[in-house]
Structure 1
Amino acid sequence: MSSPEHKKLIWNLIKDIKVGMLVTKTTETDESLRARPMSLVQDAYDGTLFFYTSKSDAKAFEIANDTDTCLTFSNPKDNVYVSLSGKGNITKDKELIDKYWNPFVAAWFENGKEDPDLAMLEIKIHKGEHWDSKNNKLVQLFEIAKSNLKPSETPDLGENEKFGTK
């Protein structure tokens, strides 16, 4: 859905944030949205993100019911914000489990890689948006004040880009 250069840009924006908020539609009758933190486990991004999960966790049932997901990453200190939408899938792929296994993950699964409840959440990203402002707060305030004096001009608060389809 995006070029290798763009995938690298997205990875550079999210890799140090490490934890994103995963949004799924609940399986409750009202089909409300629910978000929860998820930790990145990979060391590169090619259009798919991976996370460890329990097969018995609510998110696994929610994704089985509706594969649409949204992941958000935010670093307010550096004014970086990323929203990624994609299709989720729960897999027991042994190669994936072995590839990304680490001591942090091991702490959550008592029986290690052989835990019968262990699974991977794979999210294939198909669209998103990111905001990245290198400007400090003073420059941002100046831009906002300037646009209030000249309503025909919008403030330049940094880079914003939408990508993908669907």
Structure 2
Amino acid sequence: MNDNAITDDEGMEKVVSTIKSTRIAMLTHTDRQGRLISHPMATQDVEFDGTVRFITERNSEKVADLTANPQVNIAYSGSGSWVSLSGTARIENDVEKIKELWSTFTDAWMEGGPENPNNVLIVVDGDTAEYWDAPGGSKVTQVAALVKALAGRKRPEGDQGTVSL
């Protein structure tokens, strides 16, 4: 693997592509007892510009935890690619943005529609994103690359890097 072969723009493209193609992410934060907690969350805004948005309930434990300690990590796992986004979360009560992002998928999980005062946004402003991208994309290609790497005692080929947001 040659980290230096990828430009910052190409790395950002890989990050954006993985986030856009992976609707469910794992949001990891620290609870008020200091334990790491992860929640599956549906990414609401896929026009990634360094900020990620999730709709959640104001009265949830995760909102209380994020208010006390806003440092988070969001993990995306796509078809042969992965992104780990580190950033700072904040809670926003933006009814217009919630209306804009609301979908039938959101409606299945959240009560009362976008006007429900208990529905709020978790907005994560990313600091850095690490990405890994396996060659070929298909599982068969990835397994073949892994077997080939094991036989030659070399790391599998692919791209990886860190992007500042």
Same fold (TM over 0.5): yes
* Aligned-pair CA distance for 1:4: 6.4
Structure 1 unpaired stretches of 5+: 148-153
Structure 2 unpaired stretches of 5+: 1-7
TM-score by length of 2: 0.84
Residues 5 and 156 of structure 1: is their aligned pair in 2 closer, same or farther, counting only changes over 3 Å? Answer: closer
Establish whether residue 26 from structure 1 lines up as the match of residue 31 from structure 2. yes
Establish whether residue 158 from structure 1 lines up as the match of residue 125 from structure 2. no
Establish whether residue 115 from structure 1 lines up as the match of residue 121 from structure 2. no
| SS, match of residue 41 in structure 1 | coil
| SS, match of residue 70 in structure 1 | strand
Q: Distance in 2 between matches of 1:72 and 1:105?
A: 20
TM-score by length of 1: 0.84
Q: Distance in 2 between matches of 1:139 and 1:83?
A: 23
Corresponding position of 1:150: none
Residues 6 and 44 of structure 1: is their aligned pair in 2 closer, same or farther, counting only changes over 3 Å? Answer: farther
Corresponding position of 1:151: none
By relative contact order (CA 8 Å, sep 6+), the higher-ranking structure is: 2
Q: Distance in 1 between matches of 2:70 and 2:162?
A: 21
Corresponding position of 1:143: 149
* Aligned-pair CA distance for 1:5: 5.7
Is the CA contact (8 Å cut-off) linking 1:67 and 1:87 kept in structure 2?
Answer: yes
Q: Which runs of 4+ in 1 moved over 3 A?
A: 3-8
* Aligned-pair CA distance for 1:6: 4.5
- What do the CA deviations read for 1:61-101 (whole angstroms, capped 9, x no partner)? 111001100001113xx321111100001100122112211
Corresponding position of 1:59: 62
Number of residue pairs matched by the alignment: 153
Residues 139 and 4 of structure 1: is their aligned pair in 2 closer, same or farther, counting only changes over 3 Å? Answer: closer
Identity across matched positions, percent: 24
Considering only aligned residues, what root-mean-square deviation do their CA atoms show, in Å? 1.8
Q: Distance in 2 between matches of 1:62 and 1:162?
A: 27
Corresponding position of 1:128: 129
